[in-house]
C-alpha cells in the first residue's frame, strides 16, 4: 500500500547521501531497453506492411509472418542488448535519473 505524501525508502536513503541501489539502476536500465525494443519492434512491424512479399520466407501465409516476426525480434533483441539500438534507452535513463534527482532535491529533509 502506498501512502500519498510520504517519501519512499529510496528517496530517504538518497536524501541521506546514499547512492542509487544497484538493483534500482539495473531495473531502470532494463525498463529503458525494453521500451526501446518495443518501439523498434512496432516500427519493424509497420515497415513490413509496406514491403511486397519476397521468396525468402515464402509468398504468403502464417509461416511467412511467423518467420518475419522471429527475425525482427532477433534483430531488435540483438540491437537493444548490445546497446546498438537508437540510443533511446540511454536518453530515457538519463531523463529518469534527472527527474528522480530533482524530485529528491525538492523533498523536505527527513529527521
Contact 41, 76 (CB under 8 A): yes
**76 is in which domain, residue-wise?**
57-111
In a domain, 2, yes or no: no
pLDDT at 6: 46
* Number of folded domains that form the chain: 1
Reading the chain (111 residues) residue by residue, the pLDDT tens digits are: 444 554 454 554 555 555 556 687 888 889 999 999 999 999 998 998 888 777 666 666 777 788 888 989 999 999 988 888 888 989 998 998 888 888 777 775 655
SS3 per residue for 37-99: HHHHHHHHHHHHCCCCCCCCCCCCCHHHHHHHHHHHHHHHHHHHHCCCCCCHHHHHHHHHHHH
pLDDT of residue 35: 92
Is there a domain that residue 98 lies in? yes
pLDDT on residue 41: 92
Residue 72 in domain: yes
Q: Is residue 39 part of a domain?
A: no
Q: Is residue 37 part of a domain?
A: no
Structural domain includes residue 21: no
What is the value of pTM for the model shown?
0.63
Residue 12: per-residue pLDDT:
47
Say how far apart CA 111 and CA 109 lie, in whole Å: 6
Per-residue confidence (pLDDT) for residue 101, from 0 to 100:
81
Q: Please give the pLDDT value at position 69.
A: 87
Q: Give pLDDT, residue 28.
A: 87
Structural domain includes residue 83 = yes
Residue 96 lies in a domain: yes
Amino acid at each position: 500500500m502506498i501512502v500519498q505524501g510520504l517519501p519512499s525508502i529510496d528517496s530517504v536513503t538518497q536524501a541521506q547521501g546514499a547512492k542509487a541501489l544497484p538493483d534500482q539502476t539495473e531495473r531502470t536500465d532494463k525498463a529503458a531497453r525494453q521500451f526501446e525494443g518495443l518501439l523498434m519492434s512496432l516500427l519493424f512491424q509497420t515497415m513490413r506492411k509496406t514491403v511486397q512479399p519476397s521468396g525468402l520466407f515464402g509468398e504468403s501465409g502464417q509461416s511467412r509472418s511467423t518467420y518475419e516476426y522471429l527475425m525482427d525480434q532477433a534483430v531488435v533483441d540483438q540491437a537493444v542488448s548490445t546497446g546498438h539500438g537508437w540510443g533511446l534507452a540511454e536518453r530515457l535513463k538519463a531523463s529518469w535519473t534527472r527527474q528522480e534527482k530533482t524530485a529528491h532535491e525538492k523533498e523536505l529533509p527527513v529527521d
